[in-house]
């Protein structure tokens, strides 16, 4: 139906391995658990999986602090387990993407242990080191996203090192060409193993301003951002100098040149900058990243106008690249709680999944989204996330979206026979996979129905997009691929709506997508609560 590469228009299912399935009874999910559940993932109708970090790590940031890029952490299994996972996924027709955390390492990485010992060793310049000011304070005002200053004193060298995240996550110095070569060597290891793609964590953080200029202050009315605690000083600055530097473009082109040596692989870059849409457009133009992944639909803003404006803004700037959208992931409140306004129903869950999977681009779906899971309320004494522990109680961190997958009505919802690393909330147990598979009108069965139908719709997978100006709460647009034009309209509210919607040509409603069906007749659009209309336009 198209000569597009597999990743264009693909739906990728994100697996957070700690919370997916535990097979060895330690309360933490593992790679064998993913293997056991790959048939389930394949049954969802998705095209690929993205596995969050499973590499050797002290787990200060639950795997996003890597101590060895090439070794599977024993907590998750072995390198042989990964080989088995890759082989089974491919047998099931699933592509496999892995997280690569390239901007920083763990402080336990051998590179950092050597670098911190002196100012003249072989890796002395592999991390971002700087002298103190005359009064002993850090070299500039940069802040860590996890709270407080972004500089940590190291007495062995008598210098500060940069950490944009935890103090145990020192930033690599990409101005050093030896670092860039070494990092590309670590990426090559996994490409040689046969992975189909990379999700590049915090990819715009690789370079810093070599002159270490201070970030300017941000006015109080501009201090908003994804996942920020209201009292996190990180929002008090424009982050012009600690990330998103122009030198990063050349590195992305080096990375793409490496990836082009392998057939049919792709990279998704996670991008969070002062203007993430502009950076996404820049990073996906030319010979750089295949796709950009930003956070504009991971905010609290939920309206047809906001979604339409966000996508139109990116479309206007992204003249060459390809977007990747998400409405949930492992870092933000689950979408049914964030956008549901207390209406956490299977109908809303299916509507939101269908809406994001109908936008132009590829999509990342977070585990449990297909079940309609809400954000878990994790008590303070059970918190694991250092971000949440630091900013409690005004911000509870990321644990609420990371609780274990509910598989059945058994102990710990079938996730583990041991006490899980995070508790399974009772309301999730009622949404377990086995319970939903037995209920025809469940979120899970609705998700599967839509994904099955979407695969048959070239316009939704590869087509251009053109929005139709509609009042709240309706989002409407057309997708066009060749001679095939599909009209899509979504009611984002819990009440039925009727409104004028003039359409050119003959409009024929299309059903079979698993959503409450709307109608369009005589220029009048009628949509049930959380309903949708898909119609072919001739």
pLDDT in tens, 197-207: 999 999 999 99
167-186 pLDDT, tens digit each: 999 999 999 999 999 999 99
Alpha helices (H) in 346-468, listed in sequence order = 346-356, 386-391, 426-429, 433-437, 443-454, 458-462
Confidence label for 498 from pLDDT (cuts 50, 70 and 90): very high
- Answer whether 145's CB lies under 8 Å from 164's CB: yes
Strand 362-366 to strand 323-325: parallel, antiparallel, or no bridges (unpaired)?
A: parallel
Tell me the pLDDT of the chain averaged across its residues. 95
Confidence label for 126 from pLDDT (cuts 50, 70 and 90): very high
Tell me how far apart the terminal alpha carbons of the chain are, to the nearest angstrom: 19
Taking alpha carbons only, the member of 19, 12, 74, 15 closest to residue 399 is 19
pLDDT mean over 111-123: 98
Lowest-confidence range among 25-34, 38-47, 514-523?
Answer: 514-523
pLDDT mean over 42-65: 98
Provide the CA 192 distance to its chain's centre, in angstroms. Answer: 24
451-492 pLDDT, tens digit each: 999 999 999 999 999 999 999 999 999 999 999 999 999 999
Higher-scoring residue by pLDDT: 491, 512:
491
* Neighbouring C-beta atoms of residue 85, cutoff 10 Å: 22
- Structural domains in the chain, sorted by start: 11-105+177-453 (3.20.20.80), 463-537 (2.60.40.1180)
Confidence label for 226 from pLDDT (cuts 50, 70 and 90): low
Active site residues: 201, 270
pLDDT for position 200: 98
395-426 pLDDT, tens digit each: 899 999 999 999 999 999 999 999 999 999 99
Q: Alpha-carbon distance 507 to 501, whole Å?
A: 11
Q: Alpha-carbon distance 209 to 397, whole Å?
A: 29
The DSSP annotation for 269-338 comes to EE--STTHHHHHHHHTSSSS-SEEE-SGGGSS--SHHHHHHHHHHHHHH-SS--EEE-S--TTS--HHHH
Query: 269-293 b/e with 16+ CB inside 10 Å = b?
Result: bbbbbbebbbbbbbbbbeebbbbbb
pLDDT for position 428: 97
% residues pLDDT > 70 (the chain): 98
pTM over 0.95: yes
Instruction: Tokens for 353, please give them.
Output: 């999944």
pLDDT for position 341: 82
């Amino acid at each position: 139906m198209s000569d597009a590469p597999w990743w264009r228009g693909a739906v990728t299912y994100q697996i957070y391995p700690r919370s997916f399935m535990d097979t060895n009874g330690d309360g933490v999910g593992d790679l064998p658990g993913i293997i056991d559940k790959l048939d389930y993932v394949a049954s969802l109708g998705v095209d690929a999986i993205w596995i969050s970090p499973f590499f050797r790590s002290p787990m200060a940031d639950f795997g996003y602090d890597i101590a060895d890029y090439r070794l599977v952490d024993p907590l998750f299994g072995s390198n042989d387990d990964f080989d088995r996972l890759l082989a089974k996924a491919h047998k099931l027709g699933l592509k496999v993407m892995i997280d690569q955390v390239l901007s920083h390492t763990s402080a336990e990485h051998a590179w950092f242990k050597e670098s911190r010992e002196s100012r003249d060793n072989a890796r002395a310049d592999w991390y971002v080191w700087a002298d103190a000011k005359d009064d002993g304070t850090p070299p500039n005002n940069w802040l860590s996203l996890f709270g407080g200053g972004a500089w940590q004193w190291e007495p062995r060298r008598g210098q500060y090192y940069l950490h944009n995240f935890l103090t145990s996550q020192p930033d690599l110095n990409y101005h050093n060409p030896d670092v860039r070569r070494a990092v590309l060597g670590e990426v090559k290891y996994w490409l040689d193993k046969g992975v189909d793609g990379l999700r590049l964590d915090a990819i715009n953080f690789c370079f810093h301003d070599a002159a270490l200029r201070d970030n300017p202050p941000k006015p109080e009315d501009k201090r908003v951002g994804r996942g920020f605690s209201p009292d996190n000083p990180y929002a008090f600055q424009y982050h012009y100098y600690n990330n998103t530097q122009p030198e990063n473009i050349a590195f992305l082109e080096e990375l793409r040149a490496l990836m082009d040596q392998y057939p049919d692989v792709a990279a998704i870059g996670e991008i969070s900058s002062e203007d993430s849409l502009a950076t996404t457009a820049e990073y996906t133009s030319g010979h750089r990243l295949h796709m950009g992944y930003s956070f504009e639909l991971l905010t609290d803003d939920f309206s047809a106008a906001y979604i339409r404006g966000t996508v139109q803004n990116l479309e206007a700037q992204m003249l060459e690249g390809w977007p990747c959208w998400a409405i949930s992931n492992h870092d933000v409140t689950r979408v049914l709680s964030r956008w549901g306004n207390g209406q956490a129903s299977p109908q809303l869950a299916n509507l939101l999944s269908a809406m994001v999977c109908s936008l132009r681009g590829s999509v990342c779906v977070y585990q449990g989204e297909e079940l309609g899971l809400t954000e878990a309320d994790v008590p303070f004494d059970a918190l694991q996330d250092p971000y949440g522990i630091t900013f409690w109680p005004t911000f509870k961190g990321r644990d609420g979206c990371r609780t274990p997958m509910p598989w059945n009505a058994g102990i710990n919802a079938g996730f583990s026979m041991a006490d899980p690393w995070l508790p399974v909330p009772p309301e999730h147990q009622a949404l377990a996979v086995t319970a939903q598979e037995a209920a025809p009108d469940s979120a899970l069965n609705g998700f599967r129905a839509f994904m099955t139908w979407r695969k048959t719709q070239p316009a939704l997978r590869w087509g251009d997009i053109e929005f139709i100006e509609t009042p709240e709460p309706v989002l409407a647009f057309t997708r066009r691929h060749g001679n095939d034009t599909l009209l899509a309209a979504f009611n984002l509210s819990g009440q039925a709506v009727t409104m004028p919607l003039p359409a050119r040509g003959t409009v024929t409603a299309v059903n079979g997508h698993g959503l409450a069906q709307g109608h369009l007749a005589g220029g009048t659009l009628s949509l049930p609560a959380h309903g949708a209309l898909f119609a072919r336009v001739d």
